[in-house]
Amino acid sequence: MRLADWPGMDLDSALGKEWLETNGIGGFASSTIVGLNTRRYHGLLVAATHPPVGRMVLLSKLEETLIVSGERFELSANQYPGLVHPQGNLYLEEFRLDPFPVFVYQAGGVTIEKRIFLVQGENTVVVEYEVLTPSACQLEIRPLIAFRDYHSLTHRNDSLNAQFETAPQCVTIAPYSGVPALHFAHNAASVDATGNWYFDFCYRLEEERGLDAREDLFNPFILKFDLTNTRSAAVIGSTSERSIFQVAELRKQEIARRASIRNAAPVADAFVRDLTAAADQFIVKRGDLQTVIAGYHWFSDWGRDTMIALPGLTLATGRFEIAKNILRTFAGAVDRGMLPNRWPDAGETPEYNTADATLWFFEAAGALARYSGDYSFVFEHLRDVLNSIIDWHLRGTRFCIHVNDRGLLECGEPGSHLTWMDVKIGDYAVTPRKGMPVEIEALWYNALCTMEDFAVRRNDAAASQKFGAMAARAKESFDELFWNEGAGCLFDVVDGEIRDASIRPNQIFSVSLTHPILTGERAARVLERVERDLLTPRGLRSLSKDDPQYRPHYQGPPWDRDNAYHQGTVWSWLLGPFVTSYLRVHDHSAPAREKAEAWLRGFEEHLREAGLGQISEIFDGDAPHTPRGCIAQAWSVGEILRALVEDVLGQRPGVQNVAHSSQNELASI
């Protein structure tokens, strides 16, 4: 992926393209393709101090000056109030992902290449420079440090300790107590102390979002390199002590790791391989197990997002052991029959405030069993938790989540927001959806059918009969309560006598889940309505354009954005269940597969549009559907990948996979 692929690139266009490096423990590095930081979340080392959370921007950037025959060329670029300075973007000839960010500059007759990558499993960034045209030249590098929570900004302060320690080819700075020290391994010829503050960096995307957007950064020292003979310079910034002599080996290991991930893609298809590589960036360690970062730059691991993304990120890509680790992580955190919705960034107690994350857990567990054939794992590690979840829902748990006398799941208290449409502004829930949301009923039915399947696998006739009867009762009530004949689709929420007829995408799950609660002619009519009112080239709108509450654009200050988030904004992850439903209704016919493939492959160009190599969280409801929100979202990648592999390319579970255990072995667990 090269800068030349975008002819006529101007600065504004370049600032809309961002690169992302991740380290497998929640940390990351990110900026724009010209190195101008436009977000508070941009930085060369955003370290996960309590993996995968506790993220801090330690190293914001490196200011670089190339000196040729005494003339100084500033390669950096920064936004200050009213101007960009310096304008190193004018010297940038090429940007590419190869496989990590590579920048090629030309200045003073010298061509110099910069490479950036993170080391897996640790908070370490490697930055390399190589002169491609032999010449007498020098390079000066000024690290700019922040040492602050990645949601915050820092300003000049007297509490910063400007002192640093030097050792052969290493500089260490610990500017504040209680945070990790940062070690700079280097091959510089000399290190000069500075102790300067750089003032008033402006982050334009934060300004657009109506948030604080000014920051001061500190420069403790200058690294000076003579590239006349060596032609190469390198800096390793890390919370661990590293040797500069490890650079080549670290680079070799990272290239090999990424190649192995791409080569293990389930299909020899360039787009599938790109998505497989993108999927890997969300899988991170949590303790001895693993979890999923919901999105970069600002999300931690969320239960709902993890369960929805898991089939695409790990099962469609054949990474079954990772899927098992993730399921065990969340199974161990279930409390009162609820999956945690979110682990806070500061590492506090998980939040239990969702009705759907727990039900998606059943879908993920069933998908693992079908893909891997390893029902033994489900019965040994998940069965008791799954049974306890059903029991808690029958007798009632937090937020009045309980099974009512019609066998359906009710949820919600005044002011609560328990579904994926969960925006709350103070005490105001934008889409409260109290009562019986349509997708919650579809997920509840699917969970009961999944438990019935597991009972059959275990030859447990009593459990099979129990869950089968509960599922039948739920479906009967659903058919009676949710069909909106006038609109030819489903009500979005039923709450007593209130029927919410808003045309939203939530009804698609009644058709798309493994055990659909809606089939036949009604399923076809739902699909037709969703396609007509909600489908866009970037996914499904969260509300019909004909609704008076429809918001065409997601932009502006927090209040405006929050009110648009689920009121028309397009969500790319919803294209996955839509494609599954579409092919199911059309019996996976060749014309239907061709159409579905075109929808999914429309995201190939998007991989070069915003977060390079990734799929954005959301898009404007109106054309041209500008990408918004996170530049990389787990369920966006997971669902596009799953639908492409499973539904379009036909690599569906339960066909080529063979169970690892016999029926007798399963029954003995």
- Name the token pair of 177: 């107590």
Band of pLDDT at residue 134, cut at 50, 70 and 90: confident
What is the CATH architecture assignment of 3-257?
Distorted Sandwich (2.70)
Sorted by sequence, the CB contacts under 8 Å of residue 648 that are 6+ apart come out as: 579, 583, 593, 596, 597, 600
pLDDT over 70 for what percent of the chain? 96
pLDDT category, 458, cuts 50, 70, 90?
A: very high
Q: What is the DSSP letter of 125?
A: E
Q: At what angle do helices 520-533 and 575-585 cross, to 10 degrees?
A: 140
Alpha-carbon distance 200 to 223, whole Å? 23
Rounded to the nearest 10°, the torsion over CA 74, 78, 84, 89 is: 50
CA distance 58 to 41: 11
At 669, the pLDDT band (50, 70, 90 cuts) reads very low
Residue 187: name the closest of 249, 120, 128, 115 by CA. 128
Reported as a pLDDT band with limits 50, 70 and 90, residue 366 is: very high
350 DSSP 8-state letter? P
DSSP three-state, residue 495 = strand
- Exposure string of 47-83, with b = 16+ CB inside 10 Å and e = fewer, is bbbebbbbbbbbbbbbbbbbbbeeeebbbbbbbeeee
Cβ–Cβ < 8 Å for 7, 21: no
Cβ–Cβ under 8 Å, residues 632 and 612: no
Which of 14, 8, 10, 20 lies closest to 95 in space, CA to CA?
Answer: 14
CB-CB contact of 596 with 582 (8 Å) = yes
Residue 137, pLDDT > 90, answer yes
- pLDDT-derived band at 533 (thresholds 50, 70, 90) equals very high
Integer Cα distance of 513 and 304 in angstroms: 15
The answer to whether residues 617 and 550 touch, using CB atoms and an 8 Å cutoff, is no
Residue 297 backbone phi and psi in degrees, to 5: -110, -15
Using a pLDDT cut of 90, give the percent of the chain over it.
92
pLDDT value at position 661? 30
Return d(Cα 389, Cα 304) in angstroms, integer: 15
Q: Taken in order 489, 494, 498, 500, is the CA torsion positive or negative?
A: negative
Cis peptide before 180 (omega within 30 of 0): no
pLDDT of residue 655 exceeding 50, the answer is no
489 contacts: CB under 8 Å, gap ≥ 6: 503, 507, 525, 526, 529, 530
Residues in the chain: 669
Using pLDDT thresholds of 50, 70 and 90, give the confidence band for residue 461. very high
Is residue 9 predicted with pLDDT exceeding 90? Answer: no
pLDDT for 663 equals 34
Per-residue pLDDT band for 644 (boundaries 50, 70, 90) equals very high
pLDDT of residue 3 exceeding 60, the answer is no
At 155-172, the pLDDT tens digits run 999 999 999 999 999 999
Helix, strand, coil content of the chain in percent (nearest 5) = 35, 30, 35
pLDDT digits (tens, 9 = 90+) for 208-249: 999 999 999 999 999 999 999 999 999 999 999 999 999 999
Full DSSP string of 295-318: EETT---BHHHHHHHHIIIIITTT
Mean pLDDT over 88-116 rounds to 96
Cβ burial of 6 (10 Å; 0-12, 13-18, 19+) is middle
β-partners of residue 106 are 111
| Average pLDDT over all residues of the chain | 94
Looking at residue 664, its pLDDT comes to 33
Give the integer Cα–Cα distance in Å for 144 and 355: 44
pLDDT of residue 2 exceeding 60: no
- Given a contact cutoff of 8 angstroms between Cβ atoms, the answer to whether 279 and 636 are in contact is no
Give the pLDDT of residue 426: 86
427, pLDDT greater than 70: yes
C-alpha distances out from residue 361 to 42, 64, 637, Å: 33, 48, 19
Of the CA atoms within 13 Å of residue 644, those in its CB half-sphere come to 30
- Give me the mean pLDDT over the 309-332 stretch: 97
The CA–CA distances, whole Å, from 585 to 190, 522, 582 equal: 69, 10, 5
**Model's pTM, two decimal places?**
0.95
DSSP code string of 566-581: TTT-EEGGGHHHHHHH
Give yes or no for a contact between 533 and 503, defined as CB atoms under 8 angstroms apart.
yes
Q: Which residues pair with 21 in a beta bridge?
A: 29
Span 616-626, mean pLDDT? Answer: 98
Q: What is the mean pLDDT of residues 577-598?
A: 97
Distances (CA, A) of 621 to 349, 540, 635: 35, 9, 19
Q: Does the structure show a pLDDT above 50 at 7?
A: no
Please determine, for residue 368, whether its predicted confidence score (pLDDT) is greater than 70. Answer: yes
Q: Are 221 and 171 contacting, i.e. CB atoms less than 8 angstroms apart?
A: yes
Residue 87: partners with Cβ closer than 8 Å, 6 or more residues away: 74, 77
| pLDDT given at position 363 | 98
Whether residue 446 has pLDDT greater than 90: yes
CA quadruple 588, 591, 594, 595: dihedral positive or negative? negative
Task: For residue 642, give the DSSP letter.
Answer: H
Q: How far is CA 471 from the centre of its chain?
A: 33
pLDDT in the model for residue 218: 98
Tens of pLDDT, residue by residue over 374-384, are 999 999 999 99
The domain locations on the chain are 3-257, 535-669
Is the pLDDT assigned to residue 98 strictly greater than 70?
Answer: yes
Q: Is 666 a residue whose pLDDT tops 80? A: no
Nearest residue to 334 via CA among 311, 357, 312, 315:
357
- Give the integer Cα–Cα distance in Å for 289 and 98: 30
263 and 99 Cβ atoms separated by less than 8 Å: no
